[in-house]
Amino acid sequence: MFGFRYIKAPPTTHIMQYRRGKLVQEGDGLSFFYFAPSSVIVQIPRASTDVPFVFNEVTADFQDATIQGELTYRVIEPLKLASLLDFSLGPTGRYRSDGPSKLNDRLTHATQILARAFTQNHTLRRLLVSSDTLVEQILEGLKANESVAELGIEIQGLSILSIKPTSEMAKALQANAREKLLQEADEAVYERRNTAVELERKIRENELNTEIAVEQKRRQVRETQLQADIAVEQQKAELVDVSVENQRKQSEANADALRAMLEPIKDVDWRTLMAAQHAGIQRFLSRMQEPRLCTLHAGSRRTQRTAILQRSARIDRRGVDRLAVIAVQYDRGIQPFLRWARHLPPATGVGRSTIGLGRARTVPQSPFQHKPGGRPAR
């Protein structure tokens, strides 16, 4: 009203009031009434400001590269900046000129000059991996730039968001990298297959070693069984040898006993022996006349003689031994002996003690005595 106005600024904004070309008051976050027809208000933001940028530059190998980043600054000397750029407010409360935007353009141009100098000294492949070096070099250049220092601002930071080549070069670079990655992938597959083959070989070796160990154990078992069988057979052989030796000794003993038994009577006449054992012979003959013994085949004379001897074993042991001597001595046949023995008279009190006294009874002539013709008497 009547040209008086009120202004109130935040703490991050520096306010300066000029009247008649002189600075009346200044400060951060001021609030006051002023007379608009005779006053000029300058408003400079002191908060940190971010300025994004995108540069298209050419590398040392003549390849296009796009650099995208962001610059951060703040005003530390408002008077210097106000003396260089117009930050005055108009009647509507807006800036009278494009001074604030020019500040961003100047900082962007300074940054682009520094980035271009760095890009032209590096190839595309190296530039793509040198963002940190680029940031350091641009910051150092901005801090050392006099035009930037005259603006009364402070560079707080610079960040490179991306460095991109053209789409064709990107595909070419990616193809090279892709081939390397595929080669590494193939090598990884090769290593994995080699590892699998190696593991399979180890597993097979372990299986073969297990089979070898099992076969060795089986061979040991078979060898043990064979040794046991050999030991059993050796013991059997020893048993057979002992049995044969025992049988031989028994046979020798039996032969010696028979020899000792027959030795005293080998020179005695058979009639004397028959008379001495007449009673035993009668019992023997009674058993000889049994139907089973009388029906023996005449053709098997030796079988008949053995049966008679076995049958007489229950009559008299000594009589059987003597009869065996007689049967062996007269091997012409047992039937004539039986016919002759039927005509023997019964024994009357003749004992063994009469053998040496000569009291034997006279018996008929034996049919086993040979006549001059060589045939036995009938």
Residue type at 234? Answer: Q
Give the separation between CA 37 and CA 15, rounded to whole angstroms. Answer: 18
C-alpha separations of 345 from 268, 353, 362, 364 in Å: 21, 20, 10, 9
Give the separation between CA 370 and CA 331, rounded to whole angstroms. Answer: 12
pLDDT of 377 strictly over 50: no
Half-sphere exposure at residue 162, Cβ-oriented, CA atoms within 13 angstroms: 6
Give the separation between CA 323 and CA 325, rounded to whole angstroms. Answer: 5
**pLDDT top residue among 175 and 369:** 175
Half-sphere exposure at residue 236, Cβ-oriented, CA atoms within 13 angstroms: 6
Give the separation between CA 130 and CA 287, rounded to whole angstroms. Answer: 139
Give the separation between CA 361 and CA 276, rounded to whole angstroms. Answer: 9
Residue 325 parent element (H or E): helix 317-329
- Specify whether the CB–CB gap between 134 and 59 falls below 8 A: no
Q: Considering the entire predicted model, what is its pTM?
A: 0.48
Give the separation between CA 17 and CA 4, rounded to whole angstroms. Answer: 14
Q: Give the architecture (CATH level 2) of 48-165.
A: 2-Layer Sandwich (3.30)
Mutual angle of helices 131-143 and 99-120, in 10-degree steps: 130
Q: What count of residues does the chain have? A: 378
Read off the pLDDT of residues 43-61 as tens digits, 9 standing for 90 and up: 999 888 999 999 999 999 8
240: closest CA among 248, 229, 230? 248
C-alpha separations of 176 from 122, 126, 162, 190, 214 in Å: 19, 15, 20, 21, 56
Give the separation between CA 133 and CA 138, rounded to whole angstroms. Answer: 9
Read off the pLDDT of residues 320-371 as tens digits, 9 standing for 90 and up: 455 445 544 444 444 454 454 555 444 443 333 333 333 344 444 444 444 4
Mean pLDDT of the chain: 76
* Phi, psi for residue 144 in degrees, rounded to 5: -90, -5
**pLDDT on residue 65:** 92
Determine if residue 214 is left, alpha or beta; phi over 0 gives left, psi from -120 to 50 gives alpha, anything else beta: alpha
Read off the pLDDT of residues 61-91 as tens digits, 9 standing for 90 and up: 899 999 999 999 999 988 888 888 888 888 8
